[in-house]
Amino acid sequence: MEHPKATTSHYKFTLLPKFFVNYHELARHSPRLKITTQPSLGLIDQPYNEPTNTQPDAQHKKPWERFTAHINQVNRESPDNVTYKVLYLTRHGLGVHNVFEGNVGREAWNNYWSHLDGDGTVFWVDAKLTEVGIQQAEALGQFWIDAVTIDKVPLPESLYTSPLARCLETTRLVFSKLMGQFREKFQPLVKELLRERLTDHTCDKRSTRTWIEGHYPCYLIEPGFSEDDRLWKPDGWESAEEHVARNQKVLEEIFDHDFGTFISLSVHSYAISAILRACGCEEFRVCEGSTIALLVRGERV
Domain membership flag for residue 131: yes
Say if residues 297 and 16 touch (Cβ distance below 8 Å): yes
The rounded distance, in Å, linking the Cα atoms of 279 and 160 is 18
The rounded distance, in Å, linking the Cα atoms of 243 and 273 is 10
Buried b (16+ CB within 10 A) or exposed e, 117-150: ebeeebbbbbbbbbeebbebbbebbebbeebbee
The rounded distance, in Å, linking the Cα atoms of 151 and 184 is 18
Domain membership flag for residue 3: no
Give phi and psi for 246, each to the nearest 5.
-65, -45
Domain membership flag for residue 265: no
Among candidate residues 101, 169, 196, 252, the one labeled active-site is 196
Torsion over CA: 142, 131, 232, 111 (sign)? positive
Question: Running DSSP on this structure, what letter comes out for residue 220?
Answer: E
Residue 111: give the domain boundaries: 11-43+63-258+284-300
Helix axes 240-257, 269-278, angle to 10 degrees: 70
Give phi and psi for 18, each to the nearest 5.
75, 0
Question: Running DSSP on this structure, what letter comes out for residue 78?
Answer: S
Number of domains in the chain: 1
Which CATH number covers residue 80?
3.40.50
Catalytic, 92? Answer yes
Domain membership flag for residue 52: no
List, as one string, the DSSP characters of 226-261.
-SS-SS--TT----HHHHHHHHHHHHHHHHHH---S
Domain membership flag for residue 69: yes
Say if residues 91 and 171 touch (Cβ distance below 8 Å): no
Helix (H) or strand (E) holding 294: strand 290-300
| Alpha-carbon separation of residue 113 from 110, 118, 198, 200, 202 (angstroms) | 7, 7, 16, 11, 9
Tell me the residue length of the chain: 301
Instruction: Give me the helices (H) in the chain, please.
Output: 23-29, 51-54, 63-77, 96-104, 106-111, 131-150, 165-181, 209-215, 240-257, 269-278
Give the end-to-end CA distance of the chain in Å, rounded to a whole number.
25
Domain membership flag for residue 296: yes
Buried b (16+ CB within 10 A) or exposed e, 17-40: eebbbebeebbeeeeeebbbbbeb
Residue 58 pLDDT: 64
Among candidate residues 70, 92, 97, 243, the one labeled active-site is 92
Catalytic, 192? Answer no
Q: Give pLDDT tens digits along the chain (301 positions).
A: 344 444 456 999 999 999 999 999 999 998 889 999 999 999 999 999 866 555 666 668 999 999 999 999 999 999 999 999 999 999 999 999 999 999 999 999 999 999 999 999 999 999 999 999 999 999 999 999 999 999 999 999 999 999 999 999 999 999 999 999 999 999 999 999 999 999 999 999 999 999 999 999 999 999 999 999 999 999 999 999 999 999 999 999 999 999 999 999 999 999 999 999 999 999 999 999 999 999 999 999 9
Domain membership flag for residue 270: no
Domain membership flag for residue 53: no
| pTM for this entry | 0.94
Residue 259 pLDDT: 96
